[in-house]
Amino acid sequence: MRDVSKIFPRGPKPVEKKITVLTCYDFMFARILEESGVDCILVGDTLGVVYQGQPTTLPVTLDEMIYHAKAVRRGAPNTFIVVDLPFLSYQVSLEEGIRSAGKVMKESGCDAVKFEGGGPEILELIYKLERIGIPVMGHIGLTPQSVNVFGGHKIQGKAEQDKARLISEAKGISDAGAFSIVFELIPSALAKEISESVPIPTIGIGAGAATDGQVLVIYDFLGLNKSFKPKFLKTFLNGYDDVSGAVKNYIQEVRNGSFPGPEHSH
């Protein structure tokens, strides 16, 4: 078991070293991320959108999360891995949430689970899981499983009442025993204020530079979806054009007979 406190240290801010998190859903990418030295891999329910082609994360099932988490663990046996609990795998009841989290931990070999929200029921679930030995990462701001309530992917925490709610949720999640919180699509000034107010590390996506770490979806980070260009995203590779170009070269060489050549033949 990997030590959560070494990667997500609880205590004075800012943390000594910024925390790097990337999503991943398969063996090959997991192996690259581990060998490259990323601190944490998140097996996110974003796989529903970027891997399955669904319009939202809502259709993803618990068994699908476990399937992908197993593949990621095989590719990254020494990396701290967090797995999302998908929609309706933890909201129905406290008992259902405990069962879902336990099933993910037992069957996938992951190190922690993550789920969204900061209401009373969520805080009780975090409290219970922490006390039976299941580490929890929280998630506030834009919570994609509630996209139908928010009316789309919009920045959260602009209004004063929303700011107060997010501050309260973050403190509640920390007090309940979570080891970290993801801030998604929150104004940078508010993210800084909240991060400084809680003793656990904060991980931002679209929340500015003042959080204790950052997370990006690997397909977005690699520039594989050329139509997805939110303000917060920096692409570190021109992946779509690189892959498309390689495919076009392959097609051309097969058709003109230059592949396979003598060096590729037995």
Give the chain's largest Cα–Cα span. 70
Asked whether residue 84 is marked as a ligand-binding residue, the answer is yes
Q: Token digits for 205?
A: 């996506």
Q: Are 141 and 148 in contact (CB under 8 A)?
A: no
Residues ≥6 apart with Cβ < 8 Å to 130: 136, 176, 177, 178
Asked whether residue 116 is marked as a ligand-binding residue, the answer is yes
Residues ≥6 apart with Cβ < 8 Å to 256: none
Q: Which of 160, 184, 193, 263 is catalytic?
A: 184
d(CA 179, CA 76): 21
Q: Token digits for 66?
A: 């476990």
253 catalytically annotated? no
Active site residues: 184
- Residues marked as binding? 45-46, 84, 114, 116
- Residues marked as binding for 3-methyl-2-oxobutanoate? 45-46, 84, 114
- Residues marked as binding for Mg(2+)? 45, 84, 116
